[in-house]
Structure 1
Amino acid sequence: MKKIRKMLAGLLGAAMVLTSFGTPAWADSATRPTLPTIDTTQKGTLTINKYEGTDANTSNDKPLAGVEFTIWKVADIEQDSSSSKVGFKYTPVTGLGLVADDFTSNETEAQKYTDDIYAKVLNKLNTNKDVENGTLAGGKKATTALDTTKTTATAKFTELELGLYLVQETNAPSQIVNKTANFLVSVPMTNEAGTAWNYDVVAEPKNEAVYSGITLKKTGTTISADGTKGTPTALSGVQFALQRYNTTSNEWELVTTADHADGIYTTNSAAGTVGQITVDGLAPDRYRFIETSLGIGEENHGYILNGTPYEFIVNTDKTISINGDNKGESAVITADNEKPDLKKEVKKGDTYENAADASIGDMVEWKVSASVPSNVDQLKKYSITDTMSNALTWLEDKADLKLTYKSSNVEKILDLKNVGATPDYNLTKPTDNQEGGSWTIEFTDTGKSKLKAANIDSIEVTFKTKLNEKAKIGKEGNLNDAQLDYSNAIYPTVDPTNPNKGKTPGEDHIKDQAIVYSFSIDVTKVDGNNNATKLSGVQFDLYRYTGNETNPTEEQLKQNAVAIKTNLTTGIDGKIAESGLNGLKNGRYFLVETKAASGYNLLKAPVEVNLNVDYVVKKTTDKWYDESNNLIGTKTTITSTKFTGGDTNNAGTYSVTIENRKGFTLPKTGDIGTAMFLIIGIGGMLAAVYIMLRGRKKA
């Protein structure tokens, strides 16, 4: 037995020296019988426990799953009783180039199987091209897998014929820098005490592993209606899937951990790391982050979810490569989402504002501005709609609807058409002379691609409508709504393992309003000596003056003013009918009296009415959500208006009282006799006065 122990000790030493994986641990079987000689009826097992690390201590090492081992039987083992002492011998199998002499040495019989023999056998096997290239046919394979406690990763070979086996690590995870060197294992082996044969052999080789980490920063950028990008804002609560590419299945697989069993990672909300995801312990391989949800936070809604993968590679030197650029060991991926905006305005003078004023019959010019996301070509929908109140009439020959495209606030000539077999956009609009109605511009895939290619970041749509007789007077105003409809997510069309596969993007809506006001003049005609007396039948012409004279004459008004209405007549209440002086914009107006009430004199000069109404508009933004509490739209509406200036009240009416006085009038035809006597009497009186004055001078 001492000889057998010594020979087995040599075998054990060979395994320890040659394998470069640390000292193997040999375990006894609790169920196998212990025999002094090899039981050739037995079958053996080889259990390989795999860890990361470089030394023999496994207490703190990380179990390493996914390592494939392949074993080949290279020699038979049998009891050798040819000498006076019991021993064992190897008989090489055919096909590997080994011969009996490979298992001999010049050592004494007691050292028959020493380290140099195992080294000689292993070196010869390693020179075999198939062994060297990992293409040796046959063999049994087993891959390490975590046990239920996840503390050990084991590969087990069972039902093994007794013999000497070559063990080769044929596949390993990407974090393994160097595979375990080929080594030999004898099945069976003696136990550590050398007192029995062990048919269940356990080996615990180790590998040096490389890991790295990466940080993803999630931001959102709002693009104002004119195309100007705001400052990116960190977004918390956004969810990403982390995937790793499996080169065996050629598919992407979720990277799961104890804290992320579903492979989903969420951006932080903690101060200092808001909007960030940091993942450590990534083995060298190809990875990608994919955004799957914007979360439920209201501040995140309105942004366009971008399901396009963010790929990166962890290299074996721990550096990170992104899009082919090596970013070193501290790599950061910035994933930014964009949120478009919309603005509705009306022309006031030479500029566009939230509100303006106009007279009935005026052509009112409007402008809709909408920002264009940089990934507009990937959106299923991008359209602009404008809805007009019934006080606005669409005149086809005067509407002059025009699209202007801008990049960095500079107009670009872009010939997009809405005709032909493949239009760039589809246009629907009201019929000619229609009151109210709406128009819609919806860009096609062709048009969206052209917007992207030209780097268009803003679109302006201008058009005109006529303010008609249905115009509302005062602070209620006459509204014009605009709406931007856009897809709120980008999902893959060809990517079967993308977690967003099969999802349909929803739509977000942004609404804004502009308003045009119109005012009125309330005229009351009264007796100058008694304002309670209302004068009816008085007629006026109304002019809007554009000249510079402070007190223009009637003739100057006719030259430098626009006649708004003529023959406006007061009723028994002294007022001009409501429709007569309604629907006026700000400006200098003059009332010219063309007919006085009976017994009253005409006014000597036109009466000025200065409409100079300031209006302060307050807008309120409302938001609405779908059944999953996702924001799908915002609506900005004009909720209040305050009028100031002049004598105009909140009803938008300027009140003016005009007095007339009775004057000298000639008698009517039937009173001629009386008039003659009156004239003669006056003449006599004048003659008497003349004679009296002349007499005094003579005296």
Structure 2
Amino acid sequence: MKRMKRIMALMLAAIMMMAMSVTAFAAEGAGTHTLTVNAKGGQDLKGQTINLYKLFDVTESGTTESKNYAYTVNTATGYKDAIKSALGTSFTGTTDEEYAAAVFAIGSNDSTEVQKFANDFTTYALKNSLAATATSSKITESQTSYDFTGLDAGYYLVYVTGGKEIQSSLVTVDATTNTVNLKTEAPSIEKIADKTTVNIGDVVTYNVKGVIPDTTGYDQYQYIIHDELSTGLDFVNDTTGTALGAGATTVNVTVAFTDNSVTAAGTTPTVATLDTANNRKMSLDLSAWVRDNQANKGKEFTVTYYAKVNKDAVVTEKNNAKLEYGNNPSDTTTTTPSEAKTPTYPLDIKKINKKTSELLAGAKFSLYRIETDAKNGENAITVTGSNGNYVVDSASTTTEFESVGAIKGKGYNLHVNGLAAGDYWLVETQAPEGFNKLTDPIKVTITKTGDEEWTVKKNDVSEGDKIIDVENSTGSLLPSTGGRGAIAFAVIAAILVFGVAVSFIRDKRKEA
């Protein structure tokens, strides 16, 4: 019997130790949890600030198979009022249990009602400067997730500042839950050109698309579009290429909602500001316009402006627009630039002797966009340049370009830059001295195959090196009259005729 009592006492002690270990586990959970916050769809968190608001403290009990949770409202200043505001005027509870029960009763996970509660809490928190439980500060590196460490167990709201809209996330952080996926997106823009390839002299229309962000709760909100053209482009004021005036400080823009049925509020900007040190840089401050159009938040708008391709354009021609945004003017976020690429291509010609492959100088050519024009010698592409290097120039009257003996470091001896992808017809207008001129146009096809890749064909046959070989022939003199050979034959013929005549006279005398 004593032995049985001793065994029972040991079992009871063991059970008590296990119970204490469960309690101890719950206590040890305080300040030891990690929450991983994942950006929506793998977006970059660089430049973002993530705030955590702990609505409730959580106490866990029970085993892994059967856990119990007790919730108490965060006692930090303003939290009880924020939860009550988000629950709405119908909520009249006062105890922690009533607050927790009301939140529990809102709806199922990811329901519209739960999302509204989260967003309403965030709006109240922003308007009333509710102190966050934890904050990431501004994230300075490119990353798709962020870890909060040393957290107490609790029911948290996760909010990314300056988002396109308020879409906060709710999560219970405990020993088993440590990940949350953001629902909000950072503001972004997209720059699009109306042309995929260009000729020098073309006017490109650029459209930058954005969305009115939700600025609820912010006293200030910056929303500025910055654009920088490459050296091969110049800002102009319209589709016809009207140049900016001397010393211009602005360039024309058009701002409008994509949906024509949306009515814009406030004053819509009509010009962007040029950088005083570089007139290929401009900025368009839409901060006031965005705030004025909060009734249209979430609506897409488009900013339109124009640039003309100049003689410095190259195949790798690209330019970008980026967005600067945030609710703190002294600590804004700048998005990754959105690029619009408008490449222009060269026509490289290797003019050679067909027999020796020697490079030939002095061959002249004209280039046409239409085959019938090439055959008729009409509407040739105009160029400027010299010494084997030319660029397309719509303001020029010159339609011929001439090969040279060699261009240092190049495998060709004639270069024409500034052509869009497409079909062209190359006509030799003058052959090098002593060579025969080509009689038929050469079809040249330039095809864009990537942002910085292209192919070239000559008469529908690929030129792997992107160089058009143009061969000229020379040879023996063609038949002619009036040379020394003809005189010699005439003299010989005269001698023969004279001999025949003498023989005829002799024969006549003998007969007499």
TM-score, normalising length from structure 1?
Answer: 0.40
**1:289-341 Cα shifts (integer Å, max 9, x gaps):** 737356478547894358x999xxxxxxxxxxxxxxxxxxxxxxxx9745222
1:281 pairs with one of 69, 93, 96: 96
Match of 2:274 in 1: 429
Query: How far did residue 478 of structure 1 move?
Result: 1.7
Query: How far did residue 528 of structure 1 move?
Result: 2.1
Q: Secondary structure at the match of 2:437?
A: coil
CA distance in 1, matches of 2:211, 2:346: 38
Match of 2:213 in 1: 373
The alpha-carbon distance between structure 1 residues 673 and 309, as it changes in their structure 2 partners (threshold 3 A), is closer
Q: Secondary structure at the match of 1:514?
A: strand
**1:338-390 Cα shifts (integer Å, max 9, x gaps):** 52221122223xxxxxxx22122222222211222133794521111111112
Residue 555 (structure 1) aligned with residue 405 (structure 2): no
Kindly indicate which of the two structures has a greater share of residues assigned to helix: 2
The alpha-carbon distance between structure 1 residues 667 and 457, as it changes in their structure 2 partners (threshold 3 A), is same
Paired residues of 1:384 and 1:440 also in contact (CA < 8 A): yes
CA distance in 2, matches of 1:608, 1:596: 18
Match of 1:518 in 2: 344
Paired residues of 1:487 and 1:505 also in contact (CA < 8 A): no
Q: Secondary structure at the match of 1:555?
A: helix
CA distance in 2, matches of 1:469, 1:437: 15
Letter in 1 for 2:264: L
**1:148-183 Cα shifts (integer Å, max 9, x gaps):** xxxxxxxxxxxxxxxxxxxxxxxxxxxxxxxxxxxx
Letter in 2 for 1:471: A
2:309 pairs with one of 467, 470, 480: 467
Match of 1:440 in 2: 283
Paired residues of 2:221 and 2:327 also in contact (CA < 8 A): no
CA distance in 2, matches of 1:295, 1:528: 71
Query: How far did residue 603 of structure 1 move?
Result: 0.7
2:361 pairs with one of 527, 530, 536: 536
Match of 1:573 in 2: 406
**1:113-153 Cα shifts (integer Å, max 9, x gaps):** xxxxxxxxxxxxxxxxxxxxxxxxxxxxxxxxxxxxxxxxx
Query: How far did residue 657 of structure 1 move?
Result: 0.9
The alpha-carbon distance between structure 1 residues 657 and 663, as it changes in their structure 2 partners (threshold 3 A), is same
CA distance in 2, matches of 1:590, 1:450: 55
Match of 2:90 in 1: none
1:339 pairs with one of 182, 186, 201: 186
Q: Aligned pair count?
A: 337
Query: How far did residue 464 of structure 1 move?
Result: 1.8
1:362 pairs with one of 197, 202, 211: 202
CA distance in 2, matches of 1:681, 1:303: 109
Structure 2 segments unaligned to the other structure (5+ residues): 1-36, 44-48, 57-70, 80-93, 104-120, 147-158, 168-181, 243-250, 384-397, 495-512
Q: Secondary structure at the match of 1:589?
A: strand
Q: Secondary structure at the match of 2:436?
A: coil
Q: Secondary structure at the match of 1:677?
A: helix
The alpha-carbon distance between structure 1 residues 258 and 614, as it changes in their structure 2 partners (threshold 3 A), is same
| Residues 5-154 of structure 1 mapped to structure 2, 5 A cutoff | none
| Residues 206-605 of structure 1 mapped to structure 2, 5 A cutoff | 238-240=51-53, 242=55, 281-282=96-97, 290=125, 292=132, 295=136, 298-299=143-144, 303-304=160-161, 337-348=184-195, 356-375=196-215, 378=218, 379-396=220-237, 398=241, 401-406=252-257, 409-410=259-260, 412=262, 414=264, 417=267, 427-429=272-274, 437-445=280-288, 447-455=289-297, 457-473=299-315, 477-487=316-326, 506-510=331-335, 511-531=337-357, 533-545=358-370, 552=372, 554-556=374-376, 558=378, 562-563=381-382, 566-573=399-406, 580-605=415-440
Q: Secondary structure at the match of 2:426?
A: strand
CA distance in 1, matches of 2:78, 2:464: 59
Q: Secondary structure at the match of 1:462?
A: strand
Q: Secondary structure at the match of 2:418?
A: coil
The alpha-carbon distance between structure 1 residues 599 and 683, as it changes in their structure 2 partners (threshold 3 A), is farther
Query: How far did residue 459 of structure 1 move?
Result: 2.2
The alpha-carbon distance between structure 1 residues 536 and 394, as it changes in their structure 2 partners (threshold 3 A), is same
Paired residues of 1:370 and 1:484 also in contact (CA < 8 A): no
CA distance in 2, matches of 1:261, 1:514: 52
CA distance in 2, matches of 1:506, 1:544: 52
Kindly indicate which of the two structures has a greater share of residues assigned to strand: 1
The alpha-carbon distance between structure 1 residues 658 and 374, as it changes in their structure 2 partners (threshold 3 A), is same
CA distance in 2, matches of 1:395, 1:665: 58
The alpha-carbon distance between structure 1 residues 457 and 566, as it changes in their structure 2 partners (threshold 3 A), is same
Letter in 1 for 2:427: V
**1:580-637 Cα shifts (integer Å, max 9, x gaps):** 412222111222111111221211111221111311x4xxxxxxxxxxxxxxxxxxxx
Letter in 2 for 1:569: E
TM-score, normalising length from structure 2?
Answer: 0.52
Q: Secondary structure at the match of 2:369?
A: strand
CA distance in 2, matches of 1:541, 1:416: 54
Q: Secondary structure at the match of 1:394?
A: strand
Paired residues of 1:377 and 1:451 also in contact (CA < 8 A): no
Paired residues of 1:392 and 1:435 also in contact (CA < 8 A): no
CA distance in 2, matches of 1:454, 1:522: 52
The alpha-carbon distance between structure 1 residues 262 and 299, as it changes in their structure 2 partners (threshold 3 A), is farther
CA distance in 2, matches of 1:598, 1:682: 37
Match of 1:677 in 2: 487
Q: Secondary structure at the match of 2:204?
A: strand
**1:41-99 Cα shifts (integer Å, max 9, x gaps):** xxxxxxxxxxxxxxxxxxxxxxxxxxxxxxxxxxxxxxxxxxxxxxxxxxxxxxxxxxx
RMSD between aligned alpha carbons? 5.1
| Residues 620-699 of structure 1 mapped to structure 2, 5 A cutoff | 641-643=452-454, 646=457, 654-662=466-474, 674=484, 677=487
Among the aligned pairs, what percent are the same residue? Answer: 20
CA distance in 2, matches of 1:682, 1:375: 110
Paired residues of 2:232 and 2:311 also in contact (CA < 8 A): yes
Q: Secondary structure at the match of 2:194?
A: strand
CA distance in 2, matches of 1:681, 1:554: 52
Which of 1 and 2 has higher RCO (CA within 8 Å, sep 6+)? Answer: 2
| Residues 186-205 of structure 1 mapped to structure 2, 5 A cutoff | none
Query: How far did residue 569 of structure 1 move?
Result: 1.3
CA distance in 1, matches of 2:412, 2:353: 19
Letter in 1 for 2:96: G
The alpha-carbon distance between structure 1 residues 665 and 461, as it changes in their structure 2 partners (threshold 3 A), is farther
CA distance in 1, matches of 2:490, 2:217: 101
Q: Secondary structure at the match of 2:292?
A: helix
Q: Which of 1 and 2 has greater Rg?
A: 1
Paired residues of 1:403 and 1:459 also in contact (CA < 8 A): no
Paired residues of 1:518 and 1:652 also in contact (CA < 8 A): no
Query: How far did residue 540 of structure 1 move?
Result: 1.0
